[in-house]
Structure 1
């Protein structure tokens, strides 16, 4: 059986002891659960028109069905991740998958709006900590030199799951009804929830214990000689630039997240597309948005070497560019040209994710980077992914969905303004962070 060699990984690398084939099986199953996560979340968007017609729902109530999932993810990510570390990651992931899958099945069985809202609430509870715990499991079974690649590949599963959820959900709903769309997603998740803990075992992925007394003594001596770095949690929010990075990212996701949620309904109402066709077209635009996230992030890394403040300039450009393109798109006549411009706008709309993440990393100490990115996730969900669909639904009830879509891109102007404010203070804040006694390598961060 093949193993990753110690020459590749180093003797202190936990991934070195994991058989290569088993590591990829763990990745495949964890990736499959991530697909299930986002398929269960986004299938709702494909069946919005059917729910609206059958239950005579307002757009605000439809928007709440989507926003409540992001709200619960934002609120529960921290506590549920901590519980998973204590209870066991593998068991926790299996339980999470079972919860969101059963809740998705409950969506298909719901007889009225309150039952559907309660089921969607539970979908959010089940999904809350999967992203953070799932990537921790994946990284634990691979060598260190593969971590960047694996993280990017794993997180891309969110976009793929969204595409599958809308496209497959729309097709199933068109042929079998909207209840079966939820049921198919639920059955896929439940199957993986049963298989996952059978194949992925906590003992096989846990780090090895010290082999002998001498190694324990050495570790103790090292720990005594080098006391752990203690960083106050206020470092997450005590510079103006990092606050700007959090808020700007959340405001920009208000736009991108809203278009993803409401686009199938827009296509159904103004293009007279059937549920399956609307879900398929919307899925393609979501895929373009995912490519934009990758492409804009790569451009940011290439252009900002040695000049990290340019990341704010690029974030401003992405925000204003998406505002211009999406505003133009939703003012155009319906047709292929409009859909093409929407795609271009969505390519830029998610482009701030990379620069915003880099700025958060530059402005927070290394020992609390995990918590810093959890904070970014929290703001993204509460300010963007939860608020956007709900506010847009309220606007659609009052003004119509087409008019609401013309107003939503203007939020990108507010995002650009926040990024501009942060840029003005960025270099001073970098120096302020570097002067703190617990920062040892801020120079390396700032050069990233």
Structure 2
């Protein structure tokens, strides 16, 4: 049990600018215990993303078997976003009100089952249903994971640990898609879903034994148990402009992340005449490059946060601008007919920064929310991302049917990046005041459960 660190008085700008994330972990665990359970939830994140996006690796086979348009394929990739959009907030409430570890176990089992069931569907509607349920199963997993990371590790390490956790996304998306492409060519596209679902069941059972926490609030000489209160959490979020701005930025993040994840194998396959296995290998290359970006972005946000109260948000803004420059070069080169190598180089310079940016965003949100509603607060990340994650792949498919896939992806990328840059810039102006407001909620401590 350990109290949260002091952050200074509201309005004390000088104090806030000098302070940086420091102190001990809020939930005291042996280091090796924290690292072990971190690895477990990281592996779950890998298979969460892999199970959701494996279908994009087999788009060519599904398109041929069911005679689908690009728009229909896009909705097949995006329907999981609709499920997450519906489930995100209710699941976030359950995570904070009931149990983080049990909700992770249940959600993991759900998405793994419906990933396995995808292999048995005989028509397009059946595929839509199973992919919807995979999305529903993954809706609240990472929000619970972020809350546990915030408790298991010291504030000064939040950026890098969140970044390491977020490496699960590119590994699941890109290395997993590469694996799925190989499995599809070797054993048939249906075998992919039966094979990749198995680890999720095993890890879900293991999560039943993970360390969780209950929050206590210090009142004079007493420590009183504090539970999740919907009204309190909503009032805090609504009165925090930085949180609102960071949530709105998720519209751009969701639009681009899930649109490109759904279409990246098809983009490389069509642009450079690659088959499913070759396109999957190209995507796997990006996964290997991207994994370095998330922890580096986390380290950058930790470093910047020690030097400025809004340092995490500044890191987010810088990384977003970097991505915009090199993605613009990626699609410009592809449109102008350059070969695979220069396109790969430009994208490999942007993708790690994107992974680092998402780590900085999440740690920025954790820093300005109290431990008893962190999962609820981060569930809005899932909510806002999946508003556009649901729309993006289908929209890209519709534009692609008219203008070509490369130009469709270029347009969606520009809209996403420009909106994010504007929102992150405004968040740098409001973050100090919101961090100061956190202290007004009181001092909190944790007990392991």
TM-score by length of 1: 0.77
The answer to which of 277-286 and 152-161 deviates more is 152-161
Once the two structures are superposed, what CA deviation does each residue of 1:359-393 show, in whole Å capped at 9, x if it has no partner? 4356556664443222223222323x333323212
Q: Given the alignment, which residue of 349, 353, 365 partners 1:360?
A: 365
Q: CA deviation at 1:434?
A: 3.5
| Higher relative helix content | 1
Partner of 2:45: 34
Contact persistence 1:66–1:389 (CA under 8 A): yes
* 8 Å CA contact retained: 2:157, 2:302: no
How far does residue 103 in structure 1 lie from its aligned partner after superposition?
Answer: 0.9
Kindly indicate whether residue 400 of structure 2 is the aligned counterpart of residue 400 of structure 1.
no
TM-score if structure 2 supplies the norm length?
0.77
The partner residue of 1:391 within 385, 391, 395 is 395
Highest CA radius of gyration, 1 or 2? 1
**Distance 1:366-1:13 versus aligned 2 partners, 3 A rule:** closer
Q: CA deviation at 1:436?
A: 8.4
1:146-157 map, 5 Å: 148=158, 152-157=163-168
Q: CA RMSD of the aligned region, Å?
A: 4.0
Tell whether 2:200 aligns with 1:196. no
Change in CA separation of 1:316 and 1:28 when aligned onto 2, cut-off 3 Å: closer
CA deviation after TM superposition for structure 1 residue 145, in Å: 9.2
Residues in 2 aligned to 1:232 and 1:295: alpha-carbon distance in whole angstroms: 31
- Does residue 79 of structure 1 match 2:90? yes
Shift of 1:227: 12
Q: Where does 1:48-447 land on structure 2 (aligned, <5 Å)? A: 48-83=59-94, 92-134=103-145, 148=158, 152-193=163-204, 196=206, 200-201=208-209, 205=211, 222-223=222-223, 231=232, 233-309=234-310, 311-332=312-333, 333-361=338-366, 364=369, 368-383=373-388, 385-411=389-415, 412-423=417-428, 425-426=429-430, 430-431=432-433, 434=436, 438-439=440-441
Aligned partners of 1:143 and 1:318: how far apart in 2?
24
**Larger relative contact order, structure 1 or 2 (CA cutoff 8 Å, min sep 6):** 2
CA contact (8 A) 2:156 2:302 kept: no
- Measure the CA separation in 2 of the matches of 1:296 and 1:276: 31
Question: Which sits farther off after the overlay, 87-96 or 367-376?
Answer: 87-96
C-alpha separation in 1, matches of 2:153 and 2:418:
42
* Counterpart secondary structure, 1:35: helix
What is the rounded CA distance, in whole Å, between the counterparts of 2:41 and 2:318 in structure 1? 35
**Is 1:15 aligned with 2:15?**
no
Retained in 2: the 8 A contact 1:316–1:420? yes
Instruction: Mark the runs of 5 or more structure 1 residues left unpaired by the alignment.
Output: 1-8, 209-217, 442-448
List runs of 5+ in structure 2 lacking aligned partners.
1-22, 444-449
- Once the two structures are superposed, what CA deviation does each residue of 1:210-242 show, in whole Å capped at 9, x if it has no partner? xxxxxxxx9997147999999452221334443
Change (3 A) 1:70 1:291: farther
C-alpha separation between the residues in 2 aligned to 1:201 and 1:358? Answer: 25
Aligned to 2:17: none
Q: Is the 8 A contact 1:300 1:314 kept in 2?
A: yes
Change (3 A) 1:350 1:382: farther
Shift of residue 60 of structure 1? 2.0
Query: Given the superposition, is the C-alpha separation of residues 138 and 393 from structure 1 closer, same or farther in structure 2, using an over 3 Å criterion?
Result: same
Counterparts of 1:179 and 1:294 in 2: how far apart (Å)?
A: 34
CA–CA distance in structure 2, aligned partners of residues 394 and 335 of structure 1:
25
Q: Deviations over 1:267-320 (max 9, x none)?
A: 111211121121121122234334323323322433453334455554444333
Q: Is the 8 A contact 2:331 2:406 kept in 1?
A: yes
Deviation at 1:163, TM superposition (A): 3.2
- String of CA shifts for 1:95-119, please: whole Å, max 9, x gaps: 4333222211221111111110001
